[in-house]
Structure 1
């Protein structure tokens, strides 16, 4: 009996390992030790880090650089809460990270980018890589150096062959998606002038909208993030010359200032934004939105009406993408947050579809010029291909 159970257990392990091999890979951590001399450090002063899976064959001179997400911190106390975690210190990061979705290395699951050089830059500064404060407060020993981290890591990658890039994508999820938008032109400027360079932010189009109490919680929060991290000088000056720096942290106000081709992947019912922008805890002291924020099918009639209003505001904000052939978007109605990193939502037989197209195909066709894609989904719960998966909240902390 015991041997039978052991055989069943071993068979299960083999199946899991085969599944992992088919859909992704474990990639080791690289510390950028020489960044220390440049003051390009995490919140705790440790060196920045990334995971790098080298390309092969026809993809040897093609690069995807993917920015990790994980929210932001708005003041010293908030940042101290991250300082001794993986979102504030490379000392707390895992040695190996699983790559799948847009970073996967199997042609069957990532047909356009599987053999590219694929990089995931770890997030440990709390400002979407925009901060740069020279002074270090001896009381809390915090470093606000996100912009320096971006530069130092890019220098390291350029030295490893990215300076010969023929095709390149800057991408990222959540706060990393916002990083992708804010650094899109900076990334292109680093690469050879003849390279085909584009940006694909995922779940990074955070909108400036009133919460359920009528306040603009997220606008105030972003203003504090920008002030604490000294981000103003690293935001587009064409925006900050006209608007307050905190507003220039919102994609809807900066996208018109970006010249590099860009493709927006987002849900119009982004689960993180519903929880933290539309109905943050401060606006819902009685926690009456608790069930609705976990599952839209549990929303009351009035709550769902407000959620549908959020989608209208999102559509209005994302309209700045425009209809240029150099721009595209895949805006579905799935209650989800981040869809390019997960194999289930990036490219599988049951992945979310818009116009009979997966996210992977839409992005690949757009990048290679095989076709444009500019689609906004119908209202929830209209799309039967939505899995309405909710990403691990530890990876996407609330505010």
Structure 2
């Protein structure tokens, strides 16, 4: 599917239109960029500069608040159902006995050669609701109000949520200081921040070190210097747009 619409650039008499390519996606689309980034670079090899960005696609290999890990069996069944192993990074597959682990960005990214930008909230709403505090870990609904409104979270719940942030920062630690890996990791309750102008590039957009997401991505893409910013812990960031999708409330 990926190769079909771009199989002709090398043969094109006007390849300049492909000089710069950014493969990006949000959520599941952001996750998919980890599987196709290097492949796209190979398909366009020599014709274009290829870089990739994942928005809210850095799904973590993390236990939930009850100590269970529900995302591992989910990803394992997903890889088996879709026959996705053939699309996973070969170097990653050679490093593990469990192929489904290469479905997790934190393991796949270690083997990706193409420049990458990670845009994610340390308190990603989807991961908060479905991976870190899934319904199975909260049968009595003690987290319902907190999920619907972060300001309604108790002190204990906020302290617990710092575990999600810690897992994110631990997973990203390996890539800190890597010039080809950009990061914008803020402390907003959101899921996908590049799709809306309000969060991407606007007068009141979320910022880290006085830079919007668009500005930091631009610094990384055009190699204008260091492009890694990690926010302080919630609730320190006053620039946040805490976006709780209505279909997430009550889950």
**What's the TM-score, normalizing by structure 1?**
0.59
1:167 aligns with: 20
Runs (4+) of structure 1 exceeding 2 A deviation are 149-164, 390-394
Rg (Cα) greater in structure: 1
2:152 aligns with: 298
Residue 151 of structure 1 deviates from its aligned partner by 3.2
Which of the residues 178, 187, 190 maps onto 1:324? 178
Asked whether 1:222 is paired with 2:72, we answer no
Q: Which has the higher helix share?
A: 2
Task: Show CA shifts across 1:283-312 (max 9, x none).
Answer: 222222111112221112221111011111
Q: Greater relative contact order (Cα 8 A, min sep 6): structure 1 or 2?
A: 2
SS across alignment from 2:177: coil
Is the contact made by 2:10 and 2:47 (CA closer than 8 Å) also made in structure 1? no
2:86 aligns with: 233
Matches within 5 A, 1:155-304: 155=7, 164-243=17-96, 244-304=98-158
2:220 aligns with: 366
Asked whether 1:150 is paired with 2:2, we answer yes
Structure 1: how far apart are the matches of 2:215 and 2:244?
Answer: 22
Matches within 5 A, 1:51-90: none
Residue 150 of structure 1 deviates from its aligned partner by 2.9
Residue 210 of structure 1 deviates from its aligned partner by 0.5
The number of residue pairs the alignment matches comes to: 249
Structure 2: how far apart are the matches of 1:162 and 1:278?
Answer: 45
Residue 270 of structure 1 deviates from its aligned partner by 0.5
Structure 1: how far apart are the matches of 2:72 and 2:162?
Answer: 21
Is the contact made by 1:165 and 1:192 (CA closer than 8 Å) also made in structure 2? no
Residue 245 of structure 1 deviates from its aligned partner by 1.5
Structural RMSD (CA): 2.4
Is the contact made by 2:75 and 2:100 (CA closer than 8 Å) also made in structure 1? yes
Residue 159 of structure 1 deviates from its aligned partner by 8.7
Q: Which runs of 5+ in 1 are unaligned?
A: 1-148
Which of the residues 224, 231, 239 maps onto 1:377? 231
Residue 194 of structure 1 deviates from its aligned partner by 4.9
Is the contact made by 1:252 and 1:320 (CA closer than 8 Å) also made in structure 2? no
Structure 2: how far apart are the matches of 1:354 and 1:313?
Answer: 20
Structure 2: how far apart are the matches of 1:158 and 1:215?
Answer: 48
Change (3 A) 1:343 1:398: farther
Change (3 A) 1:227 1:388: same
